[in-house]
Structure 1
Amino acid sequence: MGPGIHLTLHHTRATELQAEAKTHSLAAAAHPRRPLRTRVGWTLVEIGLRLATPPLAASAP
């Protein structure tokens, strides 16, 4: 696999994880009594993804 494919796979997975984090974030907002640990965990996942994903303008060749 070339580096381009590897990077594409990482971007695809990051997009999937962001969608999953958003879904869980919305679910947590709908159920405010969810355990704090779960909400904090998904918040950390979302923050990590934002830090790990470069801005769209920077990722274009």
Structure 2
Amino acid sequence: MHPETHLALHHVRAADLRAEADAYRLAAAALHPRHPRDLRTRLGWALVEVGLRLAAAPKAAAAIP
């Protein structure tokens, strides 16, 4: 598969996953009122998100010949 095609498919899939996650968050927020453990859950998912962003960060040093 051509790299640009692969990248385009990746972007589409990532957008789908983000939309699905947003829909899930809205549905979960509507079904469940705030709970004391909610802060711990939100912090945990925030750490997961930061980790994923760090793992997916482009390598600027690798691009320089």
TM-score interval (norm. to shorter): 0.5 to 0.7
TM-score scaled by length of structure 2 = 0.53
TM-score scaled by length of structure 1 = 0.56
| Rounded Cα–Cα distance in structure 2 between residues aligned with 1:12 and 1:53 | 18
| Higher RCO (C-alpha 8 Å, min separation 6) | 1
Larger radius of gyration: 2
In structure 1, what residue type is equivalent to 2:49?
Answer: I
Match of 2:29 in 1: 29
Deviation per CA, 1:10-58: give whole Å up to 9, x if none.
Answer: 000000000000000000110116xx8xx77xx47x827x72487xxxx
Percent identity between matched residues is 43
Unaligned runs of 5+ in 1: 55-61
Unaligned runs of 5+ in 2: 59-65
C-alpha RMSD over aligned residues: 3.1
Query: Number of aligned pairs?
Result: 46
Q: 1:23 and 1:16, CA in 2 relative to 1: closer, same or farther beyond 3 A?
A: same
